[in-house]
């Protein structure tokens, strides 16, 4: 269920002293989760505490050291050490066993399953050696999909990749980002928790990542991170790995725009037409759209009347609005 609305203050004047103030209420819910819920859903992945056992190492040499740490390797997980944050594992599968979107309980059970060999974390080129059950952990799109509760709509019922999540979102301006919106490149996606370190130039993010953006440390887990950001030529760039990387600024939540009356507009009409446009990366269920004025459900005009990614909603009161405050609330759901 996806709902949205917009809190805007509009002054409407017919004849003095009639003053009508319309408040358009705003609430966002994505398939049952608010923006705050999406960020809260990340906390268990960030706070997950686990100890790396011998069985959690990719250790074909059987020497108690992860093979990816030998030579010049910098694999972060060591036998007997405890870590905070679910391990980052590039998505994959072996038969019916999948990894890359493990919820915390699944990850913990795999790590504690010493009767089998579940490898903590996976890099993109890692293959599953003979004698191992699978990998344990979550990748960037697995985390975002789980936080937003959209992975269940994936074709395999397990997870979307970055490109697939991007198709379910719509572009927003950097200055208009809200909790639960995302930064996405061709291969990585990060959640915006709503916190700017320095407005529009340094931002806090939550992601499952191999190398931290803030200090280039190989952490390979779910972390709260900070990243420097810039805008140039209408594009947004994030700084890490000693380079700028282009990212799209997107929202999985529906966007309400083109409000009428506009904020501060004075209209000599006690029956003002109230309009709003709803846009989403996935189809909006036209039959689910509800408008309320002062808590009373009204019947707005909806165009198109069928499900679509963009729907216009309008309503003109049948009775004169009295002087004072009037609350307008709109909701919609995704198909």
- Non-local (6+) Cβ contacts of 6 within 8 A are 24, 25, 26, 256, 259, 276, 330
| Buried-exposed string 71-109: b where 16+ CB fall within 10 A, e elsewhere | eeeebbbebeeebebbbbbbbbeeeeebbbbbbbebbbe
The residues pairing with 223 across neighbouring beta strands, listed in sequence order, are 207
Residue-level pLDDT at 7: 43
Domain boundaries, given as residue ranges, for the chain: 9-28+254-334, 43-142, 160-251
130-168 burial, b for 16+ CB within 10 Å, e for fewer? Answer: eebbbbbbbbbbbbbbbbbebbeebeeebbbbbebbbeb
User: What residues have CB less than 8 Å from 131, skipping those under 6 apart?
Assistant: 117
Report the distance separating Cα 169 and Cα 184, nearest Å.
10
Q: What integer pLDDT is reported at residue 320 of this predicted model?
A: 87
Question: Which DSSP category does 262 fall into?
Answer: P
Give the distance, in angstroms, between the CA of residue 307 and the centroid of all CA atoms in the same chain. Answer: 23
Question: Can you give the pLDDT at residue 97?
Answer: 96
- The closest alpha carbon to 253, from 6, 35, 40, 7, belongs to 35
**Residue 43, both tokens:** 């906390």
Q: What is the DSSP pairing of strand 97-99 with strand 92-94? A: antiparallel
Annotate 98-141 with three-state secondary structure: EEEECCHHHHHHHHHCCCCCEEECECCCCCCCCCCCEEECECHH
Cα–Cα distances in Å, from 31 out to 182, 306, 307?
Answer: 17, 20, 16
Q: What are phi and psi of 117, to 5 degrees?
A: -110, 100
- Cα separation of 189 and 154, whole Å? 17
- What's residue 260's pLDDT? 86
Q: CA-CA distances (angstroms) from residue 167 to 21, 189, 308?
A: 38, 13, 15
Tell me the CA distances in angstroms from 25 to 6, 8, 239, 265, 288, one per residue in order: 5, 8, 36, 18, 17
Distance CA 82, CA 59 (A): 18
Which residues, given as ranges, of the chain have pLDDT below 70? 1-29, 70-73, 263-264, 266, 335
Per-residue model confidence (pLDDT) at position 24:
65
- Record the pTM: 0.88
Q: In the chain, where does DSSP find H-type helix?
A: 35-40, 43-47, 104-112, 140-148, 162-166
The span from the CA of 251 to the CA of 228, in Å, is 20
Burial group, residue 32, by CB count within 10 angstroms (0-12, 13-18, 19+): exposed
* Residue-wise pLDDT tens digits, 27-76: 566 777 889 999 999 999 999 999 999 999 999 999 999 999 865 568 99
Q: How far is CA 285 from CA 151, 171, 290, 305, in A?
A: 20, 20, 11, 9
């Amino acid at each position: 269920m996806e709902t949205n609305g917009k809190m805007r203050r509009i002054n409407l004047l017919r004849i003095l002293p009639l003053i009508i103030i319309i408040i358009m209420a705003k609430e966002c819910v994505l398939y049952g989760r608010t923006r705050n819920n999406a960020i809260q859903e990340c906390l268990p992945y960030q706070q997950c505490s686990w100890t790396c056992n011998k069985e959690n190492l990719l250790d074909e040499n059987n020497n108690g050291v992860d093979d990816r740490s030998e030579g010049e390797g910098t694999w972060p997980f060591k036998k007997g050490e405890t870590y905070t944050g679910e391990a980052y594992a590039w998505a994959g599968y072996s038969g019916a066993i999948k990894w890359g979107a493990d919820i915390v309980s699944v990850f913990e059970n795999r790590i504690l399953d010493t009767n089998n060999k579940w490898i903590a974390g996976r890099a993109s080129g890692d293959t599953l050696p003979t004698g191992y059950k699978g990998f344990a952990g979550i990748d960037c799109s697995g985390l975002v999909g789980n936080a937003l509760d959209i992975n269940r709509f994936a074709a395999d019922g397990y997870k979307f990749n970055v490109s697939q999540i991007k198709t379910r979102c719509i572009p927003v301006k950097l200055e208009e980002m809200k909790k639960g919106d995302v930064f996405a490149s061709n291969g990585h996606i990060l959640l915006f928790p709503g916190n700017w370190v320095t407005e529009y130039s340094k931002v806090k993010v939550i992601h499952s990542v191999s190398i931290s953006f803030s200090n280039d440390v190989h952490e390979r887990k779910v972390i709260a991170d900070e990243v420097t950001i810039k805008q140039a030529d209408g594009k947004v760039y994030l700084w890490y790995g000693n380079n700028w990387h282009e990212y799209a600024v997107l929202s999985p939540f529906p966007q309400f725009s083109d409000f009428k009356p506009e904020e501060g507009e004075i209209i000599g009409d006690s029956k003002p037409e109230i309009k709003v446009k709803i846009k989403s990366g996935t189809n909006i269920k036209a039959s689910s759209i509800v408008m309320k004025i002062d808590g009373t459900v009204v019947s707005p005009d909806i165009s198109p009347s069928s499900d679509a990614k963009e729907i216009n909603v309008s309503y003109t009161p049948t009775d004169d609005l009295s002087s004072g405050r009037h609350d307008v609330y709109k909701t919609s759901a995704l198909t």
